[in-house]
Amino acid sequence: MRSHAARRGVAVPDADVLDHELPFLNYRLLALKLGLGYPGSAHDTLEGLLRAARRALVADRLPPRLALAHLAWFHVLAATPRRAVPALIRLRFGRGAWLAPTQRAIARLRGQRAAEGGAT
């Protein structure tokens, strides 16, 4: 990435960019929890990735609620046993499939209440 940025004339900080971006920290933590190898994985630890995530959250200046949600995700993922991580990933990233039935039920209830309210 650094050489590509140099060819484009884009300045990149000396520090590892992957230590400062939440998506990359998230992917690295996921891979570490799943036991997958990746460049630099030998040097990554749960504690180090959590510290980097906290620093990135402070630097990003996200709204407090969003920052807290990210922080909670990182800590829940770090604390989850390896055998449960795939289910946690499905829940986190496939939540549309989990939420869709609930959202349809709520919409039906709202429609029924609106119809009942209109009839009175």
Q: What is this structure's pTM?
A: 0.66
Residues 2 and 49 in one domain: yes
- 30 and 87 together in one domain: no
**CA dist 20 to 54, 59, 60, 109, Å?**
10, 8, 9, 44
**Same-domain status, 108 and 53:** no
For the chain, what is the domain count? 2
Parts of the chain with a pLDDT under 70: 15-18, 95, 97-98, 117-120
Residue 61 lies in domain: 1-79
Residues 6 and 48 in one domain: yes
Together in a domain, 29 and 72: yes
3 shares its domain with 28: yes
Looking at the structure, tell me whether residues 11 and 57 fall in a common domain. Answer: yes
